[in-house]
Chains A and B, each alone.
Chain A
């Protein structure tokens, strides 16, 4: 996982986004254990309390399952995984549309641009 933090957003939310990304990219696999809080904190160079908070939130979303002493694992529930994928992609699209809007480009025009790029 690559850890980069923007200044203007809570760190725990950025950790959540990185973990979601790792699941989407197949770096963390459904049903498999994820690294411990301590290991993640050391990798990301952040406070373990902040990692703990991010993982607890992801558990609440159902994306991670707590296995008690054996650590946390990624859910195998297809519906939850699909919902997370959809939400992440939507968020990406939302950010993209906002950036285009700054330049006065509508979502439709942006889509047209993306299609043209695809064809090239």
Chain B
């Protein structure tokens, strides 16, 4: 059953690459207004899942709906996606990206983006290649979070940056979060994100091995999500 109350639903979602199964029979129901951690070791299928939802890959089997609609041009307007690697031309200026987002996305607030860039002390006139890696990642996040999307897909938003930049990124995510949107954060840095999450999904070799509400899991197990993750994954083969 496809329900519109869920921002993201998958049914029997499967993706195989030649010689490898990336996702098998994935059943997900992600509600509105939550921050969800997509957690798993490298190669567990996090990026594949995000790319399928973003419409950049085609499933081998099963279905995906975003706000009740099958993935397609319609759902692209609902999704704000932060890829796991930079996708801007390094030659361009930050302001050109602002123009691009403004042209392309109706729900983009240039004012909001400019305000955040100002807080960061990044001039819209600066070129991407002149920015540090941390600042490049922050600019991309600012752009992605300046949309009023229904679903934000953030693939490793805190991957390659120092702890201070990590704090800034998590604050930006929290400050822009509202009850209309759902945010999916994929990462293997669990200790850094667990305070920010409502729910978690542990992914291992393309399957969900555990999922639920973070505080409830803490209450039931007396463990932090980080400890629970280590425990769950210690018992599993190949990681």
Q: B198 touching A50 by the CB < 8 A rule? A: yes
B62 to chain A, nearest CB (A): 29
Q: B134 in the interface, Cβ–Cβ < 8 Å? A: no
A11 and B223 form a contact (CB under 8 A) = no
B58 to chain A, nearest CB (A): 33
Judge if B35 is at the interface, Cβ distance under 8 Å: yes
Q: Does B77 contact A (CB under 8 A)?
A: no
Cα of A50 to Cα of B177 in the assembled complex, Å: 13
Chain A count of residues within 8 A CB distance of the other chain: 17
Cβ contact within 8 Å between B215 and A48: no
Taking a contact as CB atoms under 8 Å apart, the answer to whether B171 and A42 are in contact is yes
- B-chain residues with CB within 8 Å of residue A44 when the two chains form the complex: 195
Interface size on B, residues (CB 8 A): 24
Of the candidate stretches A1-9, A17-25, A112-120, the one touching chain B is A1-9
Interchain nearest-CB distance for B6 vs A (Å): 16
The residue in B33, B177, B198, B218 that gathers the most chain A C-beta atoms within 10 A of its C-beta is: B218
Within 8 A of B (CB), among A14-62: 41-42, 44-50, 53
Asked if B215 and A12 sit within 8 Å, CB to CB, the answer is yes
A10 and B195 contact, CB distance less than 8 A: no
Contacts across chains A and B counted by CB atoms under 8 Å: 54
Residue from B33, B167, B219 in contact with A10 in the complex, judged by beta carbons closer than 8 Å: B219
Q: CB-CB < 8 A to B223: which residues of A?
A: 7-8
| A10-B174 in contact (CB<8A) | no
Q: Does B4 contact A (CB under 8 A)?
A: no
Interface residue B84 (Cβ < 8 Å from any Cβ of A): no
Minimum CB–CB distance for B233 against chain A, Å: 17
Considering the complex, which residues of chain A in the window 78-117 have a beta carbon less than 8 Å from any beta carbon of chain B?
A: none
* Extra pairs beyond A7-B218, A53-B215 (14, CB < 8 Å): A8-B223, A8-B227, A10-B219, A11-B195, A11-B215, A11-B218, A42-B171, A42-B174, A45-B167, A45-B196, A46-B195, A47-B195, A48-B174, A48-B177
16 pairs, CB–CB < 8 Å, chain A vs chain B: A7-B227, A8-B222, A8-B224, A9-B218, A11-B218, A12-B215, A42-B174, A45-B195, A46-B174, A46-B196, A47-B35, A47-B174, A47-B195, A48-B177, A50-B215, A53-B215
